[in-house]
Amino acid sequence: MPHRSRESFAEFVVARQRHWLRMAYLLCNDRQFAEDLVQQSLEKLYVVWPKVAAADSPDAYVRKAIVNVYLSETRRMWRRRERPSDDPAAGVVATADEAADDRVDLARALSRLPKRQRMVLILRFADDLSVTEMAAVMGCAEGTVKAHTSAALKAIRRTTEFELQGVVR
């Protein structure tokens, strides 16, 4: 790869890496696994960087790669058996900021969802993608995206209502 291409790749990664890590973390709720997802996606991106750099949205390519690597990795048997902690908030450092509590609650609620439902919520609300863009990233029909979004939002509402009722009593 020419030196100029390597520089543009490095600049692109530095500018967007935190965003991708946040997206990957929301998908898997595991910091190390999120870092692995981003790293594997960037390895794939580096190989085809000149083509990707010329595209309309290189960020969309990375997003799709992260989702594909996530789906591929979660299908593996060793990954399904590994359970380092039963607490989805384990390893999350809480601060005095109320937003930190909200992030822990969101991470806990997302971790209870099936992976495709979790994925549509992250792509929709964290990455602000349209239904059409989400369908392209996930490789499914727009109706499937809408169905997963609806089911995920219902599950989140049910969980939240149930937890609030438990607190009130």
Kindly state the average pLDDT of the residues 122-133.
89
Residue 148: the pLDDT is 95
Distances (CA, A) of 36 to 41, 62, 106, 146: 8, 14, 22, 29
Long-range contacts of 160-168 (CB under 8 A, 24+ apart): 160/109
**pTM of the model as a whole:** 0.59
Distances (CA, A) of 133 to 5, 64, 122, 167, 168: 27, 10, 13, 39, 40
pLDDT in tens, 44-71: 989 899 888 888 888 889 999 999 999 8
